[in-house]
Amino acid sequence: MNRYGKEFTKGILRENPVLRLVLGTCPTLAVTTAAVNGLGMGAAATFVLVCSNIVISLLRKVIPDKVRLPAYIVIIAGFTTIVQMLVKAYLPSIDQALGIYLPLIVVNCIILGRAEAFASKNSVGLSTLDGLGMGAGFTASLVVMGSIRELLGNGTLFGWPENGLLPPITIFVLPAGGFFVFGMLIYLANKLSHRLDKDAAKKELGTQVCAACPMASSCHTAGACETGQSNPVTEPDSKEVKENG
């Protein structure tokens, strides 16, 4: 996978801003009492994140270093204002559900952190993909957490059906239930990420072994060690073993 692909996919799991970097926990716990709230918050934050990353990347050589943080906040605040006005005009129910957390996107540590750590140091293309990936990871985390809490706490999913799918367990829409679901999702994300890293390390080691083998060009199992199936150096063909006695 090239660098552009890596910059987009890293935010979905390996560097998920909520479940791996543990950023933006206040809106995560506050708005995920319903799946639609998580979707709305995630979409709004993603818009601000992508747009601010693009502008900051474009101006990275123009903004003086001494005032970079105030400049970043002004840029982020401008896009947050645009999002808030659009949501108020076209999605008043979402605006009411998100409340103060919508304008507080201005100080969301995910957005400011990506501006400082990535967009201010990289090209517009990479910064755009970084914003999209981090936004997708943030949105996915909120939607999954909101779906679990809504389903268990209210018995509905995205407000359907009105009479509920399951008997409601009220604690899941309360802060204690939010912390419990949040902790479980962090555990699962860490386990899955570690598993993927382990598999990637095995594949890289297998590639190095095959590349160093003098028989790699003629070995019929060359590349198999990348998937952990066999070792082309130490595991000869069974047919050759039978022929040679």
Among candidates 83, 99, 111, 84, which has minimal Cα distance to 24?
A: 111
What pLDDT, on a 0 to 100 scale, did the predictor assign at position 219? 63
User: Is position 164 within any domain?
Assistant: yes
What pLDDT, on a 0 to 100 scale, did the predictor assign at position 232? 46
- What is the Cα–Cα distance from 120 to 47, expressed in whole angstroms? 18
Going from the C-alpha of 103 to that of each of 45, 108, 203, 235, the distances in angstroms are 10, 10, 45, 62
The per-residue pLDDT for range 97-144, each reduced to its tens digit, is 999 999 999 999 999 999 999 999 999 999 999 999 999 999 999 999
Query: Is the pLDDT score of 183 beyond 60?
Result: yes
Query: Is the pLDDT score of 207 beyond 80?
Result: no
- What is the Cα–Cα distance from 195 to 197, expressed in whole angstroms? 5
DSSP code of residue 160: B
Return the SS3 of 31. Answer: helix
What pLDDT, on a 0 to 100 scale, did the predictor assign at position 203? 79
Domain that holds residue 123: 3-200
User: Is position 244 within any domain?
Assistant: no
User: Is position 188 within any domain?
Assistant: yes
User: Is position 31 within any domain?
Assistant: yes
Q: Higher-confidence residue: 144 or 238?
A: 144
User: What is the domain count for the chain?
Assistant: 1
User: Is position 59 within any domain?
Assistant: yes
- Give start and end residues of each alpha helix (H) in the chain: 3-9, 25-31, 35-58, 68-90, 92-98, 109-114, 124-153, 175-212, 238-243
Residues in the chain: 245
Rounded to the nearest angstrom, the gap between the alpha carbon of residue 71 and the centroid of all alpha carbons in its chain is 26
User: Is position 234 within any domain?
Assistant: no
pTM check: above 0.85: no
The per-residue pLDDT for range 26-82, each reduced to its tens digit, is 999 999 999 999 999 999 999 999 999 999 999 999 999 999 999 999 999 999 999
Query: Is the pLDDT score of 216 beyond 80?
Result: no
DSSP code of residue 39: H
As a whole number, mean pLDDT of residues 77-91 equals: 96
Residues of the chain with pLDDT > 90, as a percent, come to 73
User: Is position 240 within any domain?
Assistant: no
User: Is position 21 within any domain?
Assistant: yes
